[in-house]
């Protein structure tokens, strides 16, 4: 009897407020055409007063629990992925935990834009290794709160959102769920995406605020150069570990960093656009929220079917990368096991 962590429910929360490319034309030297051509983004959602990383995460988590047909008492563990925490102390998962009325363990995962896939892998392994029944994974971000709206390199890229999935134990001879994964990090490239101040290396002071050290900065050209190669290598390693080829993947759900990165990676993997989930045009880069947001939209649109192979991949600050391959199931708790086709 094999046990795997399968997705049993999903949910999202996106702010109502929108910031379009046209809105940026009065803020920085840019145009709608320039942004669309280089990123694929047309608009992004922005949190307003009263909306925070935790409130978005709570709403997405509640939607995932409802969709899975379970109550807060049924959750054995909560993992929250975020790069924009509610506050430095305590961890964001404590606020999400309280907001949902959970009574289980909870912790945060960083890893930037790769955070959700990291959390998904960690939660899956803890579910199986710890003999748990259900784990809630949340990716939530309010990136608009750490952006310098005079920096064209970053301010046009990011948006706010949250997405969540419920992982449930599926058992059988070959049940659905997590089949293989790949995690990696190149710390020598940590300076490519960073917010320098606010930690132990550069504590917050009047000088750090005045110098703009609390805004996120990015070397976009170098990130782009590395991203396609790392995404393809990580996804390929995951497929190899699962013993399947790219032609068997039914849906590729990449981190929504840049439309050109997504297209180039999919092409190198041999995946046509009909097998790729893309929503960056409407939400921008929502970091740890982007993979669950794209997955939820694909599921709600009927693009996923029982037995489908779903490939996730993401790259983020650190530079951290992560991929995971799962077999989808309409009813994971009733799995009898299916062989790969």
Q: Which of 13, 155, 258, 285 is catalytic?
A: 285
For residue 299, is it within any domain?
A: yes
| Residue 199 neighbours by CB under 8 Å, 6+ apart | none
Angstrom distance (rounded) from CA 209 to CA 68:
44
Distance CA 202, CA 190 (A): 15
| Angle made by CA atoms 33, 20, 273, in degrees to the nearest 5 | 65
User: Domain end: 123, 153, 172, which one?
Assistant: 172
Q: What is the DSSP letter of 197?
A: S
323 beta partners: 182, 313
Of 97, 113, 155, 258, the active-site residue reads: 113
Looking at the domain assignment, is residue 26 inside a domain? yes
Same-domain pairing of 164 and 195: no
pLDDT in tens, 249-277: 999 999 999 999 999 999 999 999 999 99
Q: What is the pLDDT of residues 96-147, one digit of tens each?
A: 999 999 999 999 999 999 999 999 999 999 999 999 999 999 999 999 999 9
Q: Do 188 and 267 belong to one domain?
A: yes
Torsion, Cα of 224, 282, 285, 258 (10° steps): -10
In this structure, what token pair is assigned to residue 46? 């922005």
Task: Provide the residue range defining the domain that includes 48.
Answer: 2-172
**Predicted structure pTM score:** 0.96
Radius of gyration over every alpha carbon of the chain, rounded to an integer in angstroms: 19
- The confidence score (pLDDT) of residue 334 equals 58
Domain match, 74 and 18 both: yes
Domain closes at, from 172, 193, 218: 172
Is residue 118 within 8 Å of 137, Cβ to Cβ?
A: no
Element (H, E) at 3: strand 2-13
The residues that bridge with 341 in the sheet, in sequence order, are: none
Is residue 255 flagged as an active site residue?
Answer: yes
172's tokens: 């059988």
- Reduced to 3 states (helix: H, G, I; strand: E, B; else coil), residue 271 is coil
* Domain endpoint, select from 172, 192, 223: 172
Nearest to 5 by CA among 121, 170, 188, 218: 170
Q: Enter the DSSP assignment of 135.
A: E
Task: Supply φ then ψ for residue 105, to 5 degrees.
Answer: -70, 160
Q: What are the DSSP calls for 200-244, one per residue?
A: SSS---HHHHHTTTTS-EE-HHHHHHHHHHHHHHHHHHHHHHHT-
Catalytic residue from among 13, 97, 155, 255: 255
**Strands 251-254 and 2-13, how do they pair?**
unpaired
The pLDDT value recorded for residue 332 is 76
Asked if 82 contacts 54 with a C-beta cutoff of 8 angstroms, the reply is: no
Cross-strand bridge partners of residue 165: 10, 137
pLDDT value of residue 333: 61
Residue 341 lies in a domain: no
* Phi-psi group of 208: left, alpha or beta (phi > 0 → left; psi -120 to 50 → alpha; rest → beta): alpha
Task: Determine whether 155 is an active site residue.
Answer: no
| Residues 135 and 5: beta-carbon distance below 8 Å | yes
Same domain, 46 and 167: yes
pLDDT in tens, the chain (341 residues): 899 999 999 999 999 999 999 999 989 999 999 999 999 999 999 999 999 999 999 999 999 999 999 999 999 999 999 999 999 999 999 999 999 999 999 999 999 999 999 999 999 999 999 999 999 999 999 999 999 999 999 999 999 999 999 999 999 999 999 999 999 999 999 999 999 999 999 999 999 999 999 999 999 899 999 999 999 999 999 999 999 999 999 999 999 999 999 999 999 999 999 999 999 999 999 999 999 999 999 999 999 999 999 999 999 999 999 999 999 998 776 544 333 33
339 found inside a domain = no
Q: What separation, in Å, do the N-terminal and C-terminal C-alpha atoms of the chain show?
A: 20
Instruction: Provide the 3-class DSSP secondary structure of residue 181.
Output: strand
339: Cα separation from own chain's centroid: 28
Find the CATH number of the domain harbouring 31: 3.40.47.10
């Amino acid at each position: 009897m094999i046990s795997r962590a399968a997705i049993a429910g999903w949910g999202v929360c996106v702010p109502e407020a929108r910031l379009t490319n046209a809105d940026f034309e009065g803020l920085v030297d840019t145009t709608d055409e320039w942004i669309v051509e280089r990123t694929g983004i047309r608009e992004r959602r922005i949190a307003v007063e009263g909306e925070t990383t935790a409130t978005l995460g709570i709403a997405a988590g509640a939607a995932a629990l409802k969709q899975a047909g379970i109550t807060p008492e049924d959750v054995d563990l909560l993992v929250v992925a975020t790069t924009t925490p509610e506050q430095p102390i305590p961890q964001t998962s404590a606020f999400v935990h309280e907001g949902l009325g959970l009574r289980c363990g909870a912790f945060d995962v960083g890893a930037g834009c790769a955070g959700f896939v990291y959390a998904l892998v960690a939660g899956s392994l803890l579910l199986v290794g710890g003999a748990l029944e259900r784990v809630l994974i949340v990716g939530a971000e309010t990136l608009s709160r750490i952006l310098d709206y005079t920096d064209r390199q970053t301010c046009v890229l990011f948006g706010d959102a949250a997405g969540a999935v419920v992982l449930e134990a599926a058992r059988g001879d070959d049940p659905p769920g997590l089949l293989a994964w790949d995690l990696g990090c190149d710390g020598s490239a940590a300076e490519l995406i960073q917010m320098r101040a606010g930690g132990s290396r550069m504590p917050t002071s009047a000088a750090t605020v005045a110098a703009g050290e609390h805004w996120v900065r990015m070397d976009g050209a170098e990130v782009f150069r590395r991203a396609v190669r790392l995404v393809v290598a990580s996804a390929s390693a995951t497929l190899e570990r699962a013993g399947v080829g790219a032609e068997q993947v039914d849906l590729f759900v990449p981190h929504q960093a840049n439309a050109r990165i997504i297209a180039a990676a999919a092409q190198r993997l041999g995946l046509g656009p009909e097998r790729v989930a893309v929503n960056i045009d409407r939400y921008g880069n929502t970091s740890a929220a982007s993979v669950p947001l794209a997955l939820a939209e694909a599921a709600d649109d009927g693009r996923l079917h029982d037995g489908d192979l779903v490939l996730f991949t993401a790259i983020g600050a650190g530079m951290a990368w992560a991929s995971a391959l799962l077999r989808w199931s309409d009813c994971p708790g009733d799995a009898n096991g299916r062989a790969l086709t």
